[in-house]
Structure 1
Amino acid sequence: MSDNTPDPWATQAAELLAIAVTVAREAADTARSMRAEGVSGVSTKSTDTDVVTAADRAVERQVIAALGALRPGDTVLGEEFGGTAGDGAVRWIVDPIDGTVNYLYGLPVYAVSLAAEVEGVVVAGVVRNAATGDEWTATLGGGAFRGERRLTGSAQTDLAQALVATGFGYDAKRRAHQAEVLARLITRVRDIRRFGAAAIDLCLAAEGGFDAYFEKGLNPWDRAAGGLIASEAGLLVGGLDGRPAGNDMTVAAPPAIFGPLTDLLAEFDAAGGP
C-alpha cells in the first residue's frame, strides 16, 4: 500500500467514531435533562451501594435504538441490559451513565461512554461528560482528542512525583482490601485522587489531568472507550505482570512510570482480594 492510499481500517474507524459521537451526544442530553427533572427509579444491583437509576436504563435503551437504526445487524453490549444479538462484525460497548453515584448526588462527573469494537479490537471511542459537555474521542492509530486538542498524556517520569487516580468497588470486603493497597501506595506517590467515574478518569489521565490511573473491577463498558483514548494519548494501558487490562486490574500510565507503578501494585496484591 502506498503512502497515498487510504487505510480502509482508519476509514472505518472514523466512520464508526462519527456515529458514536452523534449517539453519545444525544444520550448525554437525555441523561442531563432527566437529572434536571430529578432522579427517579433508583434501585440497587450488586450491593446496597451499587445504584442504578431510571435514567441509566432509559439512556441505554436510547443508545441501543439509535445504533439499531444506524447500524442494523451490529451487536451492542451494555451495562444495564447485557448484549443484543447481531450478525455484524461490529460490537458497540456502552456505559449509559458512568458515575451513577455522582449522578445521584448531582456531582458534575458522569459520562456516556461508547466504543466500537471490530473483531475484538476497540477501534473508536467517545466519552462525553453529560454534566459539562466535555468530550474525549479516539480512533485506533488516529490519536486521542479533547475537542480539537490532541492529547499526549503526562510527561512524568518519577513515580514519587506522580498524581495517581483510582476507584473502589461496591463490595465492602473488596473496598477494605483496596484501602489497604492505597494506604501502602500513598506514601510512594505525590498524592491520590478519586472522582468516581472510570471512563472520565481514563480520559483525564489521557490529557495529563493526573499522571496515572489504576482500578480493580472494571468491566468492558467502564474501560473500552476510555482505555482507547488513554492509549492513543501515548499512555500504556494494561494489567499486572504483563497481562492486558481487565476486570482484575486496569492501569493507565506514561511509559516511564507504568513499570514502577505496576510493580508496586503487584507487590501490594492490588489485583487480589475479593
Structure 2
Amino acid sequence: MTGRGTDAVAGRTGTEFTDELRALAERFATSGGDVARRMLAEFGPSGPGSRSKSSATDPVTVIDTSVESHLRDEIGSYRPGDGVLGEEGGEDGGEGAGPHDGDGVRWVVDPVDGTVNLLYGIPFTAVSVAAEVDGVVVAGAVHNIVTGETWSAGLDRGATLRGADGTTRALRSSGCGDLSLALVGTGFAYDAGIRAEQGRVVAGLLPRVRDIRRCGSAALDLCMVACGRLDAYYERGLKPWDHAAGALVAAEAGAVVAVSDDIEVPTTAAAAGVAGEFLAVLGDLSGAVSS
C-alpha cells in the first residue's frame, strides 16, 4: 500500500506483536460472524427491522449494531485501553487505564460490510476487523458471514485464506497481464448524483476489460483480488472501515493497492501485471467524467 510508512511501523511493533494482533483480528471477525449467524437464524435476513442510514436505499439493521457492540466488548476484553473506530458507533478513543495504553493501537471495524446483501440473502457479506498502529494498518481479517471463509494478513507477514473446513492457504493475486482479460470489481455510492458519474466510468471501462462485477462488499472485493477471484478492483467513497482489513490482505498477497478516503479518488487494487494499465485507463476515464 502507498504512503503508509510501513517499514518504520513494522520495525517498531515487531513480528510477534503483528502476529498477535492478526490472531486477534481473526478471532474478533469470526466471533462477529457467529453473532450475525445466530441472529439470522433467529430473525431471518432482515432482523426484527431495518432503517435508513445515509439515504433511503442504505439500510442498517439491528444485526449491524449488535455485531459492532459485540466486537467492542471483545476488543475491550482482550485489549483494554485500545481505541476503536466502528461504522455504527464511531470513534472510541480508548482512553483509560488499560494495560495496553501506549501501544498506539486502534481497531477499525465494519460489523456487516454488505448489509444490503444480508437483507436480501445474498451470500456476500462480511465482518471486517483491522488493527492500526499509529495510523498504519498492521493486521486485519475479513470473515464471510455466510460461507465461513476468513481472509487475514499481517504487515510484511503475508496473507492467507482459511476455508470453512479449517484448511488454510497462502494467497497470491492473479497473474493476469492483459487488461482486456481482466475481471474487474467495483461498487457504487448510494447518492444518485455520484452513481451517475460512476456509471459513466463503468461504461467506458467495460469495453476494455473481460467483464465487471459488482458484488456489494468492498472488504470482500479486496480479498477477491488477493486470491485471484478478481484481477482488479476500484471504488470511490470508501470509509476506513470499508477498506482497512481488505486492503492489507490484497497488498500482502502481492496486489498493487492504493487506499483513499477522498470521495473523489477511488481506492484501487490490481494484480501487478495489469496495475499500471488499469490505473492509467481509470485515470483517463475519471478525468473525462469530471471535465
TM-score by structure 2 length? 0.87
Structure 2 unaligned spans of 5+ = 1-10, 96-100, 163-167
- 1:30 corresponding residue in structure 2: 35
SS of 1:115 mapped into structure 2: strand
How do 1:147-186 residues align onto structure 2 when only pairs under 5 Å count? 147=162, 148-186=168-206
How do 1:108-257 residues align onto structure 2 when only pairs under 5 Å count? 108-147=123-162, 148-238=168-258, 244-247=259-262, 248-257=265-274
CA–CA separation in structure 1 for the residues paired with 2:240 and 2:36? 21
Instruction: Tell me the percent identity.
Output: 49
SS of 2:282 mapped into structure 1: helix
CA displacement at 1:245 relative to structure 2: 3.2
After TM superposition, the structure 1 stretch with the greater mean CA deviation from structure 2, 14-23 or 114-123, is 14-23
Amino acid at match of 1:26: S
SS of 1:208 mapped into structure 2: coil
Against the structure 1 CA distance between its residues 67 and 270, is the aligned structure 2 distance closer, same or farther, given a 3 Å change threshold? farther
User: Would the aligned equivalents of 1:216 and 1:271 in 2 still touch at CA under 8 Å?
Assistant: no
CA–CA separation in structure 2 for the residues paired with 1:261 and 1:8? 34
The answer on 1:13 being equivalent to 2:21 is: no
CA displacement at 1:35 relative to structure 2: 1.5
1:51 to 49, 56, 59: 59
CA displacement at 1:8 relative to structure 2: 5.1
SS of 2:286 mapped into structure 1: coil
Amino acid at match of 2:88: E
CA–CA separation in structure 2 for the residues paired with 1:149 and 1:104? 31
1:37-75 per-position Cα deviation (integer Å, ceiling 9, x unaligned):
222230011111111000100000110011011111100
CA–CA separation in structure 2 for the residues paired with 1:169 and 1:73? 34
User: Would the aligned equivalents of 1:230 and 1:237 in 2 still touch at CA under 8 Å?
Assistant: yes
Structure 1 unaligned spans of 5+ = 1-5, 239-243
CA–CA separation in structure 2 for the residues paired with 1:55 and 1:180? 34
CA–CA separation in structure 1 for the residues paired with 2:250 and 2:17? 20
Amino acid at match of 2:273: A
CA–CA separation in structure 1 for the residues paired with 2:32 and 2:79? 16
1:235-255 per-position Cα deviation (integer Å, ceiling 9, x unaligned):
0101xxxxx533321110022
1:112-133 per-position Cα deviation (integer Å, ceiling 9, x unaligned):
0000000111000000001110
User: Would the aligned equivalents of 2:201 and 2:289 in 1 still touch at CA under 8 Å?
Assistant: no
User: Would the aligned equivalents of 1:178 and 1:270 in 2 still touch at CA under 8 Å?
Assistant: no
CA–CA separation in structure 1 for the residues paired with 2:269 and 2:190? 21
RMSD of aligned Cα (Å): 1.6
CA–CA separation in structure 1 for the residues paired with 2:41 and 2:171? 31
SS of 1:128 mapped into structure 2: strand
CA displacement at 1:272 relative to structure 2: 7.0
- Give the paired residue count: 263
